[in-house]
A and B are shown apart, each in its own frame.
Chain A
């Protein structure tokens, strides 16, 4: 088959005056290829030699492209285009190929050619936009992305492109708008968080920048590597042509990126049947099965990965996280500890440490959890989620004053989040600082009027504080009554019961408490002993005091 280039030239020259001149194809060395690929490549080359048709050249080009044999793919697509000029696929593949080689001028030319035939082709518009952006032709890039958005107003890739274009034009406010729209369309796209972070940074909004960058690091499964993706049928089809050992891995990975987890799992299983030592495939199979809620299957896959590579921190991390979340907490903790010990500095390691801390806290090992949160804050003092969890752990340890300080820092950093405000108020209540708790809750509710958690906690404080100056039964009942409007929950009934008792309406309070108990029993959670003791108080005509203690 090494004689093929000469053969091609000879055949083309003999094709008659009407035939366009064809380019020679440098045949790759088949000897080094795996057998299935070699046979596929040789069949494609034979078809070219026999048919000299655009389809034959195009097919050979696609196979070369699939296997990264770009030197050979290029003349194949050129020949296909020369022989079949009406077929938009060949200039499209040429554009993709030139784009991959970093030859953006020729890529732009090829995509423009496609658009002359198919002006409304979304993938071409998006690729042309990318290429124009790299050529620093920002107006042309914007035009292309805008045309794409007109075709698909929800296209995250088009918004992302427009966002990057705005960044290149240093219009950071416009960039934020576009990038937020992109992120809404593809929340798992890591790179959008990064661009958004950079835009906020340029706007001087460093807190928001830091929050976005934290999101950039946090995107995990299904993120497809974090790219902003778009449907690209001609390129996506290539994976199905793969005849090599990597075929199933390629198909599985493609399926995973598209969120088709069942197909991904199936293909990873096939890949693993051929190569059971493929650590990546075991890990990704486990992740796909997790997404399919097949915890047992995922656990088995991760265990195989750990057995294969006991010193691989990611395998330990995945297994530990799954076990800790699934009830096998102790073994999960051990695996996460191993993951942290194996890899103390990477992004994965931080996640492992965080999950370890969460699992320890859930297991009641608050001091050990606290130590892990401390370490995480040493690494990134701006991580509000970690600080919040640290504050709540301090609260569980009975260190209410420290918890109040810690959670206050989170409130300052994340003023729009209700949980730290509620946590801070609870810490103040536990510390006996009811008046301050009430003030903080009132401030929180003013900032976040739709937060039911804050409203109910404020109602409880107003109804049941040990400090008579803090109590306001009428206002407590108003808040509880409003919360009950959409329907009944245990927490709403509890708050109502406390308020009614404070107003001296004990039979109604007792009724509400009974409903709360029934709802809590049905849900299988809640402080049932505490609720029953409060019911007894109401039945004996007494209000409850400081139920948060």
Chain B
């Protein structure tokens, strides 16, 4: 029983199996005649935003990692607004320098109008200045949640060596809604390279706590140039610097937070975190946390119901790939794709690894079904970032949408003279049922074939038509808004849906983590979770949008609230959004 563990190697120079680095193939172009499922409309909608990564030719790693985007209803007018994270100048001489106003994060208000007959007019207005949004540093990601339970959704912005908690003050006497930077007084400052963050109430005390995933201990001074096998300059990978532990902030309920990282156990194991999603993975009613780390084992932190967490990812089978290899794990999402009532995991990875799908079989047993599901192989030639389970066609099954962009230069784009030769297309997978997916990128629309360096992606129903849309943040490129047009593109009878906004407490905030069990006559129940987290560095629509397929009948709707109790509602209308307030339903025992 003696064991002396000897020296550790850093076998970085050669791939372990003799497999060589994979190169991307050309994106698949859609057949010209097929109607597109998604239509790109950013410019038309007034979302003219271009991310600036600050590249100077030095190939600094942070310049290719940002940025995220949030869809959230900042003004409580019933539609989703958009917050976009900006990069900016980047280099050793940029720290602490004032930033040009144009290079700040932006808030766009959604001016959606729904006329008679459901005709929609949508336009976004830049309200950054009016809302008092300030930008203190080079941004990476964003999380959305109402931390002070005042009914107005707040934002937490991550960045390179900095962070901002932007408190939504609600309307002033003139009706203007503004934000205040309360980072310092709230105790949530994170002086590291933060990427993804999530608000979740881990101790079920009614106040949203905050987890911030940190990536690497990067410094311009210590940055060494990295090269390809042929000696060409290239971006470095995560082994070029040490990982930094993520941080868990406990909400005291008085506007301040306490850093409980060590006490909670989360400091015990960590890697370079890029993705994070909170969900009840073991079905005990308490929110757990999954952290996706770059090229090191991921963590599944199971809530011990006493303020601490235990990482069980390895034995649970969701720390590394089914073949035992840590993967790049950028974007991540949890959702019940197989309709068995528990949270399955999907994450996207580096070129050559493919997207990974861990099916939750209950009792903390996950199975890597990436290949068998049909998701793993078609994604091998791409590097994924933003990703989410969405039922894009409202057929009641969760599909998968992934936005991509390489992190290692693509030779063909170098030859073409592209200054940022990392561009790749997006992918859409249709859930066929029975655990199988089919790639339908070719039908998704020209925007999917367009090579871009996509990073953050926020998912939500921007026009409240019951079909989920996507806002994509492109590194050093324009923001894209992929409006879901499946209702027109899909053949056959119309699809039905139901939208639910779940509010807890008074005056009522989005009940992040609440689970909806939606019963349908003669059909299996559908399970969905109210969530804003997941994807990559982004915040999603907190409302629950459930596709019903061709049948509009809804039976009982049970909401399992984050504090552990459940209520039911009946008679909820299809094809509309309904707000369910905690305490107004019938208690379920």
In B376-408, the 8 Å CB interface with A consists of 377, 380-381
Nearest B residue to A232 via CB reads B18
Residues of B in contact, count (CB < 8 Å): 62
Nearest A residue to B317 via CB reads A198
B411 within 8 A of A: yes
Q: Assuming A29-B415, A345-B268, is B324 touching A195 (CB within 8 A)?
A: yes
Say which one of A42-50, A97-105, A465-473 lies at the interface with B: A97-105
In A222-266, the 8 Å CB interface with B consists of 222-227, 229, 232, 235-236, 239, 242, 244-246, 249-250, 252-254, 256-257
Nearest Cβ on chain B to A383's Cβ, whole angstroms: 10
B112 within 8 A of A: no
Q: Assuming A136-B372, A378-B268, is B14 touching A250 (CB within 8 A)?
A: yes
Say which one of A279-287, A479-487, A496-504 lies at the interface with B: A279-287
A-B CB pair tally, cutoff 8 Å: 234
Nearest A residue to B380 via CB reads A102
Q: Assuming A29-B414, A283-B8, is B20 touching A70 (CB within 8 A)?
A: yes
Specify which of B16, B20, B372 is in contact with A226 (CB 8 Å cutoff): B16
Residues of A in contact, count (CB < 8 Å): 112
Specify which of A70, A190, A202, A222 is in contact with B23 (CB 8 Å cutoff): A70
Q: Assuming A34-B230, A249-B13, is B271 touching A28 (CB within 8 A)?
A: no
Instruction: Say whether B323 contacts A164, CB under 8 Å.
Output: yes
Instruction: Say whether A379 contacts B25, CB under 8 Å.
Output: no
Nearest Cβ on chain B to A331's Cβ, whole angstroms: 16
Instruction: Say whether A379 contacts B268, CB under 8 Å.
Output: yes
A520 within 8 A of B: no
Nearest A residue to B299 via CB reads A345
Instruction: Say whether A69 contacts B230, CB under 8 Å.
Output: yes
Nearest A residue to B361 via CB reads A202
A280: which B residues are within 8 A, CB to CB? 10, 12-13
Specify which of B269, B315, B414 is in contact with A379 (CB 8 Å cutoff): B269
Nearest B residue to A252 via CB reads B13
Instruction: Say whether A348 contacts B8, CB under 8 Å.
Output: yes
A395 within 8 A of B: no
Please encode chain B, from 569 to 581, with 1 for each CB lying within 8 Å of some chain A CB and 0 for all others. 0000000000000
A539 within 8 A of B: no
CA of A257 to CA of B352, assembled, Å: 22
Instruction: Say whether B6 contacts A345, CB under 8 Å.
Output: no
A210 within 8 A of B: yes
Instruction: Say whether B231 contacts A201, CB under 8 Å.
Output: no
Instruction: Say whether B23 contacts A101, CB under 8 Å.
Output: yes
Instruction: Say whether A254 contacts B14, CB under 8 Å.
Output: yes
Nearest Cβ on chain B to A406's Cβ, whole angstroms: 12
Nearest B residue to A230 via CB reads B18
CA of A69 to CA of B230, assembled, Å: 8
Q: Assuming A198-B317, A257-B14, A284-B11, is B242 touching A311 (CB within 8 A)?
A: yes
B245: which A residues are within 8 A, CB to CB? 344-345
Instruction: Say whether B14 contacts A67, CB under 8 Å.
Output: no
B325: which A residues are within 8 A, CB to CB? 191
CA of A148 to CA of B340, assembled, Å: 40
CA of A226 to CA of B11, assembled, Å: 10
Specify which of B22, B229, B269, B411 is in contact with A244 (CB 8 Å cutoff): B229
> Max chain A CB contacts within 10 Å: which of B8, B12, B231, B323?
B8
A541 within 8 A of B: no
A71 within 8 A of B: yes
CA of A216 to CA of B326, assembled, Å: 12
Specify which of B8, B23, B296, B317 is in contact with A317 (CB 8 Å cutoff): B8
In B1-36, the 8 Å CB interface with A consists of 1-14, 16-23, 25
Nearest Cβ on chain A to B371's Cβ, whole angstroms: 6
A536 within 8 A of B: no
In A357-375, the 8 Å CB interface with B consists of 358
A37 within 8 A of B: yes
Nearest A residue to B25 via CB reads A101
Instruction: Say whether A321 contacts B4, CB under 8 Å.
Output: yes
Specify which of A242, A343, A355, A379 is in contact with B4 (CB 8 Å cutoff): A355
B322 within 8 A of A: yes
Instruction: Say whether B8 contacts A325, CB under 8 Å.
Output: no
Instruction: Say whether B8 contacts A191, CB under 8 Å.
Output: no
Instruction: Say whether A201 contacts B365, CB under 8 Å.
Output: yes
A33 within 8 A of B: yes
B380: which A residues are within 8 A, CB to CB? 101-102
CA of A168 to CA of B411, assembled, Å: 36
CA of A535 to CA of B500, assembled, Å: 87
A389 within 8 A of B: yes
B204 within 8 A of A: no
Instruction: Say whether B415 contacts A210, CB under 8 Å.
Output: no
A210: which B residues are within 8 A, CB to CB? 315
Please encode chain A, from 322 to 334, with 1 for each CB lying within 8 Å of some chain B CB and 0 for all others. 1001000000000
B415: which A residues are within 8 A, CB to CB? 26, 28-29
CA of A73 to CA of B21, assembled, Å: 12
CA of A419 to CA of B1, assembled, Å: 6
A213 within 8 A of B: yes
Nearest B residue to A386 via CB reads B3
Nearest B residue to A313 via CB reads B242
Nearest Cβ on chain A to B516's Cβ, whole angstroms: 31
Nearest Cβ on chain B to A199's Cβ, whole angstroms: 11
> Max chain A CB contacts within 10 Å: which of B7, B16, B23, B381?
B7
A549 within 8 A of B: no
Nearest Cβ on chain A to B302's Cβ, whole angstroms: 14
B296: which A residues are within 8 A, CB to CB? 346
Instruction: Say whether B14 contacts A239, CB under 8 Å.
Output: yes
Please encode chain A, from 115 to 138, with 1 for each CB lying within 8 Å of some chain B CB and 0 for all others. 000000000000000000010100
B122: which A residues are within 8 A, CB to CB? none
A343: which B residues are within 8 A, CB to CB? 242
CA of A527 to CA of B389, assembled, Å: 67
A220 within 8 A of B: yes
Specify which of A33, A283, A345 is in contact with B232 (CB 8 Å cutoff): A33
A246: which B residues are within 8 A, CB to CB? 13, 227, 229, 231
A506 within 8 A of B: no
CA of A391 to CA of B230, assembled, Å: 53
Instruction: Say whether B243 contacts A346, CB under 8 Å.
Output: yes
B372: which A residues are within 8 A, CB to CB? 136, 168
A538 within 8 A of B: no
B159 within 8 A of A: no
Instruction: Say whether A220 contacts B5, CB under 8 Å.
Output: yes
Nearest A residue to B316 via CB reads A201
B95 within 8 A of A: no
Specify which of B16, B242, B411 is in contact with A69 (CB 8 Å cutoff): B411
Instruction: Say whether B242 contacts A290, CB under 8 Å.
Output: no
Instruction: Say whether B324 contacts A216, CB under 8 Å.
Output: yes
B270 within 8 A of A: yes
Specify which of A26, A67, A257 is in contact with B11 (CB 8 Å cutoff): A257
A351 within 8 A of B: yes
Please encode chain A, from 412 to 432, with 1 for each CB lying within 8 Å of some chain B CB and 0 for all others. 001001011001000000000
CA of A37 to CA of B231, assembled, Å: 7
CA of A109 to CA of B319, assembled, Å: 33
Instruction: Say whether B324 contacts A225, CB under 8 Å.
Output: no
Specify which of A32, A283, A358 is in contact with B7 (CB 8 Å cutoff): A283
A146 within 8 A of B: no
Specify which of B7, B228, B267, B269 is in contact with A220 (CB 8 Å cutoff): B7
**9 additional contacts (CB under 8 A) given A284-B11, A389-B2:** A29-B414, A33-B231, A67-B230, A69-B230, A102-B352, A218-B5, A232-B18, A287-B8, A385-B2
15 A-B residue pairs with Cβ-Cβ distance under 8 Å, sorted by A, are A28-B414, A68-B20, A68-B230, A71-B411, A72-B411, A102-B22, A102-B352, A102-B354, A198-B322, A229-B18, A250-B13, A284-B10, A286-B7, A314-B8, A355-B4
Residues in chain B within 8 A of chain A (CB atoms): 1-14, 16-23, 25, 224, 227-233, 242-243, 245, 265, 267-271, 296-297, 314-315, 317, 320, 322-325, 352, 354, 365, 371-372, 377, 380-381, 411-412, 414-415
> What are the nearest 10 A-B pairs in CB distance?
A34-B231, A194-B324, A102-B380, A225-B16, A191-B324, A67-B230, A227-B16, A70-B23, A100-B20, A253-B13
